[in-house]
């Protein structure tokens, strides 16, 4: 099983070739099919050999194809204090970038 652990957008993802995942929105203009390179690789495992970075592995990169940018489902945020007539309701849609790992 060949896989890597990458860090992007303050989160860590376990990825394999062919995986499709949504990550935090990436800066820049992309067109479908563009190459996206993740250089913050924390761990790689290939043919039973595991390499762990401190904190990152130097020279290691993970390449992905850009699929689309969009927004997740709406999350409703409610602030409420009883007996004080305080009620606030807000919604939020987090932007994301969908990529396919090569």
Check if the beta carbon of residue 71 is closer than 8 Å to that of residue 96: yes
Check if the beta carbon of residue 50 is closer than 8 Å to that of residue 44: yes
In the predicted model, is pLDDT for residue 48 greater than 90?
no
Q: In b/e form, how buried is each residue of 43-64, taking b as 16+ CB within 10 angstroms?
A: bbbeeeeeeeeeeebeebebeb
In the predicted model, is pLDDT for residue 1 greater than 70?
no
Count the neighbouring beta carbons within 10 Å of the beta carbon of residue 77.
9
pLDDT tens-digit map of 75-91: 999 999 999 999 999 99
Query: Percent of the chain beyond pLDDT 90?
Result: 87
* Structural domain for 89, as ranges: 3-101
Among candidates 13, 22, 20, which has minimal Cα distance to 101?
20
pLDDT tens-digit map of 34-47: 999 999 999 999 98
In the predicted model, is pLDDT for residue 58 greater than 80?
yes
Number of domains in the chain: 1
Residue 45: phi and psi, rounded to 5, are -135, 115
Average pLDDT, rounded, for the chain: 93
């Amino acid at each position: 099983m060949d896989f890597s652990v990458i860090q992007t957008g303050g989160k860590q993802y376990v990825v394999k070739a062919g995986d499709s995942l949504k990550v935090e929105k990436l800066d820049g203009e992309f067109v479908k099919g563009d190459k996206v390179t993740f250089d913050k690789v924390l761990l790689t495992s290939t043919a039973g050999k595991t390499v762990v970075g401190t904190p990152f592995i130097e020279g290691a990169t993970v390449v992905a194809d850009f699929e689309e940018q969009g927004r997740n489902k709406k999350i409703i945020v409610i602030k409420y204090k009883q007996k004080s007539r305080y009620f606030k309701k807000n919604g939020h849609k987090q932007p994301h970038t969908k990529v396919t790992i090569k």
